[in-house]
Structure 1
Amino acid sequence: MKIALFSDIHANLPALEAFFKDVESRKPDAIYCLGDLVGYNIWPNEVIQEIRKRGIPTIAGNYDFGIGRRSDDCGCAYKTDEEKEMGKISISYTNSIVKDEERQYLRTLPAHIRVEFQLNDAQLTLMLVHGSPRKINEYLFEDREEKSMLRILTDANADILCFGHTHKPYHRVLCTEPGEAPKCRHVINIGSVGKPKDGDPRGGYVMLHIDETLSIHDRNSLKVEFVRFEYDVEKAAKAVESSILPNEYGEMLRRGK
């Protein structure tokens, strides 16, 4: 079974269109969106409409949560005063152009999706969140202490935890109970379709390959494929620069930062 997971489109319609073209060529058995459809670019309504018309199961990102409630707070962790000022413009602009029907859709999005598998006489749980199981805007960076990450997985009862929010893809395998039958859990950041921050401007998503050999006792039994695809970055960057949004958001798309 192939499961496609994507996240953090952030109103970047050219990137989303390129993503659909790429992912459909790979013929996944299921596809899920992990949120943050809106913000930072000019196409929030179009992005929402494209996902809705395909009936893709989608969870709320922190930006979706805020805009769905017409809030001036997206739950974003801006580090500098300059970032905060740019963020205010983005939130205000997005609130001003999102239509009522699209806003209502954002308000109905669930906080997480749980998928349970019965394989090899054992139940495995795949949990999909935006930030973390604890909080929609919590950042789970790759260097988080293993003990802390394992606590999050245990509290959420998740064998495989997939999320976005940081826009930086990675896969960590955390094994406990060492010996002949270790229990291994997976944490996977699926990256960003429309606003990557890992220095690669191409869009990114993840394909999980799950079959009957998947086992919590084998750290290598889950295949995680990180997919990158080209899209018209310049079109997306120029759209930012032709709007009232800060030009820096366009440069971030060009740099993948």
Structure 2
Amino acid sequence: MKIILFSDIHANLPALEAFFADVESHNPDAMYCLGDLVGYNIWPNEVINEIRKRNIPTIAGNYDFGIGRASNDCGCAYKSDDEKANGSVSISFTNEVVGEKERYYLRTLPAHIKIEFQLNNDKLNLLLVHGSPRKINEYLFEDREEKSMIRIMEQADADIMCFGHTHKPYHRVLNTNERFRHAVNIGSVGKPKDGNPQGGYVLLTINENSSVFDRDSINVEFIRFDYDVEKAAKAVEDSYLPNAYAESLRRGI
């Protein structure tokens, strides 16, 4: 089974449209969105409705959670006063322009999706979250202590855990008593922060021989794609959103 996983679009319609075009070449069996459809750009309604019309199973991101409740808090961990000020403008703008039907959709999104496979008499659990199983806005960075990551996955009964939120893709394989667990950050479609402005997503392949006891039987492919970054950046600059968000798109930071 070929599963497409994508996340953190953040109202970037040009990136989402390019993503959908890129995905077609992979002919996936399933597709899931791990949240944060809105925030930081001008197309929250358009992005939501592109997801809805395709009936893509989607979980709530922290930004979706806030906008769904018309909150002025997106659950974002801003580090500086400038970031906090810019963040206030972004959530105010998004709350102002998002439609009521779209807000209701965000409010009713589930927190997690869990998929159980039965292969070779083994159970294989795939868990999809936005930040972590414990908290929608917890950041699971690649340098998270191994013991901590294993504990999180064990408590959630997750053999493969896929998540977003940090906008920095990685794949870690954790070995616990010769049982392999896979932690996968799928990156960001519309606001990458790994120094590469291309959008990103993951193709996860699970086959009939996949097993928790064979680390190489589960394949994770990170895919990057081009989109009209300048169109997305110019849209920010032509709005009253902070110009810093345009620069972050151009630089992938």
TM-score (norm 2): 1.00
Rounded to whole Å, the distance in 1 between the matches of 2:38 and 2:24 is 22
Residue 24 of structure 1 deviates from its aligned partner by 1.6
* Structure 2 counterparts to residues 88-103 of structure 1, below 5 A: 88-103=88-103
Task: Tell me which of 240, 249, 253 is aligned to 2:236.
Answer: 240
Rounded to whole Å, the distance in 1 between the matches of 2:209 and 2:250 is 41
Identical amino acids, percent of aligned pairs: 75
Residue 219 of structure 1 deviates from its aligned partner by 1.3
Q: Please give the secondary structure, in 2, of the residue aligned with 1:207.
A: strand
Rounded to whole Å, the distance in 2 between the matches of 1:219 and 1:147 is 18
* Structure 2 counterparts to residues 75-224 of structure 1, below 5 A: 75-177=75-177, 182-224=178-220
Rounded to whole Å, the distance in 1 between the matches of 2:92 and 2:28 is 36
Which residue identity lines up with residue 145 of structure 1 in the other structure? E
Q: Please give the secondary structure, in 1, of the residue aligned with 2:3.
A: strand
Q: Which runs of 5+ in 1 are unaligned?
A: none
Which residue identity lines up with residue 81 of structure 2 in the other structure? D
RMSD: 0.4
Which residue identity lines up with residue 13 of structure 2 in the other structure? L
Rounded to whole Å, the distance in 2 between the matches of 1:207 and 1:116 is 18
* 1:226 has 2:222 as partner: yes
TM-score (norm 1): 0.98
Rounded to whole Å, the distance in 1 between the matches of 2:49 and 2:226 is 22
Q: Deviations over 1:149-178 (max 9, x none)?
A: 00000100000000000000000000011x
Q: Which runs of 5+ in 2 are unaligned?
A: none
Q: Deviations over 1:30-52 (max 9, x none)?
A: 00000000000000000000000
- List, as ranges, runs of 4+ consecutive aligned residues in structure 1 with deviation greater than 2 Å: none
Residue 26 of structure 1 deviates from its aligned partner by 1.0
For 1:251, the equivalent position in structure 2 comes to 247
Rounded to whole Å, the distance in 2 between the matches of 1:24 and 1:44 is 23
How many residues align structurally? 253
Which residue identity lines up with residue 245 of structure 1 in the other structure? L
* Structure 2 counterparts to residues 35-54 of structure 1, below 5 A: 35-54=35-54
